[in-house]
Amino acid sequence: MEEKLKTIRPSNPLLQHFKTNFESIPFDKIKPKDFIPAIIKGISQALDNINLICTNADKPTFENTNLALESCGSILGRNTSILFNLNSAETNDEIQLITSQAAPLLTKFQNDINLNEVLFDRIRYVYENTDETNLNTEQKTLLEKQYKGFVRNGALLDKKEKKKLRIIDAKLAKLSLSFGQNVLAETQAYELHIRDKKKLRGLPESLIEMAKSIAEKKRKKGWIITLDYPMYIPFTKYSEERELRKEITLAFGKRGYQKNKNNNTEIIKQITLLRKERAKLLGYDSHADFILEERMASSVLEVKKFLDGLANKAFPAAEKEWDTINTFAKNKLNLKKLEKWDIAFVSEKIKKVKLDFDEQELKPFFSIDNVLKGLFEIVEKLYDLKFKENYDIQRYNKEIRVFEVYKKGLFYALLYADFFPRPGKRDGAWMTSFRSQKKNQRPHVSIVCNFSRPTKTKPSLLTFQEVTTLFHEFGHALHGILANTNYSSLSGTNVYWDFVELPSQIMENWCYEKEALLIYAKHYKTGKVLPQKFIEKIKKIKNFQQGLNTLRQLSLGYLDMSYHTKNSDKIKSVKKHEKSLIEKFQFTKDIDENCLSTSFSHIFQGGYAAGYYSYKWAEVLEAHAFELFMENGIFDKKTSAKFHDNILSKGGTEHPMILYKKFRGKVPNSSALLKRAGLI
């Protein structure tokens, strides 16, 4: 099998520039077996180009060294993006095997670059001898980023240490992939099969219809609920069957923590130890110290101070909210002792009684087509973008929708939109890209979500939470679409990790404002806009249980940091470690058979290691930033132009605080977030 995967097919499309409209990916022509030969060939070509840089007899300059390095491996980068995106959104056993083969090849390739002494000597010469007055801001940033990148990835190590670094990086690449594959396998292995109609009590009709459809596809009688978010979340919110809520909640919490081949506890310990070892090798006390050197929050102490400050404000509010939940559960629902599987259910009941708010009443106003059309209109008002659906461009699954994006009549990007859960697709929502932006090249951007599917009788009707998720991911997409830099490595979302969530989280604000809601919140049958009474309720739910929600986010931030600070190598039991850390943030008793860490893909598979705090950090930035929109109007052209010119189009061309101050005129503070959340 492995030899077969390395055989180059003469017509392998991955070895060529795509001769398609907008150079889009010809998914129909690409075979899984094409990837490894194309990656091996791409690595070889890139290393040949690097050898040309190293053997250049001329004195090292920014042009013949830094720019030459920046342009190396563009087709390789394109092909690996395609492979890893498919592994997240459209995987199978063959793709997973290929990805696991590609990962060590790519890790070795990166190390071959980062640990190339001749190349680093040229980079260092330019860094130390270039008159920076001859470079513009973007060139200076690229020069510094490349030099620091080499140093931070082992260029100053001796030969023995470099060999050790290579071994560590190869192990980490493999472990990270295994972690994600295990979570996906666990998610897909479970189903709650309901055969008795009485057990559907309380469930929304749309969920019942989806469950029926899944059962029919599996040729089973009754209804099937899966662990995919669009089914799991509403089931825990609405099911009147406490035992079934318990069963599915425990199944969700067991992922990666069962006594089977998908158990992730040893993988977590290995990843944690290897990250610590890598950091020490590079001269840092911990992985967090290594990571935070390139963040707005520049130290572990600063992150801890930030989290502690928010926790102190959130705890009093959370305790009051918990008392309300407890009292309501006892008095209205006869629940004497609340468990983990009761919280979403009771909270939804309180929301209905206290705020007279039932999310199911809103869903008819949030068909995915209406929301998407309205979102496009909002973005056109803000940034002069127009979207045109293209039905001919190839896609990796027939459900994917593709849009051409134009700005002032000029082609600006391709947008792929992948909305619904299916086998082979990991849960959650994310933005990614198939092609980056650089000078003379526009990007191909993708948003991937797991929303409520259409049924036989209804289109896809989104919950309000799904609406905010769509706006969030679209904010990330705008960061990619509107990028306008010279270099790919500084373009779009290639920014400090605690800055990358600003464009996404600020976009969520348009979900709550009346002017925006009237554009997209229209009944899927009648076309009538959302009634005023619902608009007022939507504003109120923004602060519903903000204390508890904030504590939940902070607990994940603390947990993440605990795996990556200087005592991380002392962790003997993942479960005991997790329990000791987050128990104080929870109001229900811990469940022995559940472990959050073993499916915490953000930090063990994604890029949020020592960075989960950034969600809250960026929330501070966006609350402070959105105040300017509120002062001038949410569709004010001058304000949106400033946000475009200083944030969205600039990528990582300057330090994020410089860019932020250019937009806002001052440094951010947390008071706007705390006021909005009702915590002060």
Residues marked active site are found at 473
What gap in Å lies between CA 152 and CA 119, rounded to an integer? 15
Closest CA to 371 of 429, 432, 417, 427: 417
Going by C-alpha positions, the residue among 302, 52, 268 that lies closest to residue 172 is 268
CB-based contacts of 106: which residues, under 8 Å, 6+ apart? 39, 43, 80, 173
Query: What HEC string does 194-246 produce?
Result: ECCHHHHCCCCHHHHHHHHHHHHHCCCCCEEECCCHHHHHHHHHHCCCHHHHH
CA distance 351 to 544: 8
The answer to whether 95 and 84 are in contact (CB under 8 A) is: no
Amino acid of residue 374:
G
Residues 6+ apart with CB under 8 A from 413: 405, 437, 442, 443, 444, 445, 480, 481
DSSP secondary structure code for residue 366 in this structure: B
The Cα diameter of the chain in Å comes to 83
Instruction: Check if the beta carbon of residue 288 is closer than 8 Å to that of residue 561.
Output: yes
The C-alpha atoms of residue 4 and residue 301 are separated, in whole angstroms, by: 51
Residue 156 structure tokens: 């100053």
Of 277, 298, 285, 294, residue with least CA distance to 148: 294
As given in the structure block, the two tokens for residue 448 are 């991937």
- 3-class secondary structure, 527: coil
Polymer length in residues for the chain: 680
Cβ 429 vs Cβ 419: under 8 Å: no
Task: Check: CB of residue 149 under 8 Å from CB of residue 290.
Answer: no
Query: Is 455 in a helix, a strand, or coil?
Result: coil
Mark 408-421 as b/e (b = at least 16 C-beta within 10 Å). Answer: eeeebbbbbbbbbb
* Sequential DSSP letters for 601-653: HHHHTSS-TTTTTHHHHHHHHHHHHHHHHHHH-TT-HHHHHHHIIIIITTTTS
Instruction: In whole angstroms, give the CA distance from residue 273 to residue 566.
Output: 10
